[in-house]
Amino acid sequence: MTLTTNFFYSGPDKPGDTVVPPSLNPYKNVRRIAVTADVASVLTAGRFCYLTAGTAASDMTPTVTEFGDIDAEGFICIVEIVAHKPEFPATTDTPAFPNKMPNTTCTLATYSHAAEADMIVIPLEVGMIVWCTGSNAGTFDCTFGTCYIFGAGGIIKATGAPTGATPDKCAHTVTSMATTSNQNWALVRYEGIKMYDSS
């Protein structure tokens, strides 16, 4: 479990009390919006999601693989870290922020919001730098400067090069701001919807 520091970032290997560090986003409008989780055992801090308005008008659903490949997938948010509250009780493992996973192997359901439970999301703006997750098994690696798309469950995953012979798809993308090895958390910059080679 390591994060390799560089000229851009030389801080800790996971977020503190927010997934959008203020010092890295001085000119961004960080809006925290109260919503509900449309599904149980998936949406935790650092997961990407979008509005589906299922059971409740504010229901958010985790992004799916290659999210952004159809017209209806243009809006995206990230789940914010929340402090201890009665409906999401703290534990000995998470005494302050019950929905923030560690960087090691963990049970996702322990850290995620229940269906129809309240949570906070932050709408993404192009250029916003955020902490997101790539796994809950402590096995995710990313490389500084590399572009990633979204996988199932609101996490990020590697993709084919956007300069391939035939870029044939588009999706929401992020760029890694630091190289990591065997972690859950990754520091990334949101790039908006871009073309990439799915082969």
Q: What is the pLDDT of residues 127-155, one digit of tens each?
A: 999 999 999 999 999 999 999 999 899 99
Residue tagged 């996973």 (tokens): 101
Cut 0.85: pTM above it:
yes
H or E element: which one contains 169?
strand 169-176
Q: What is the pLDDT of residues 168-193, one digit of tens each?
A: 778 889 999 999 999 999 999 999 98
H or E element: which one contains 186?
strand 185-196
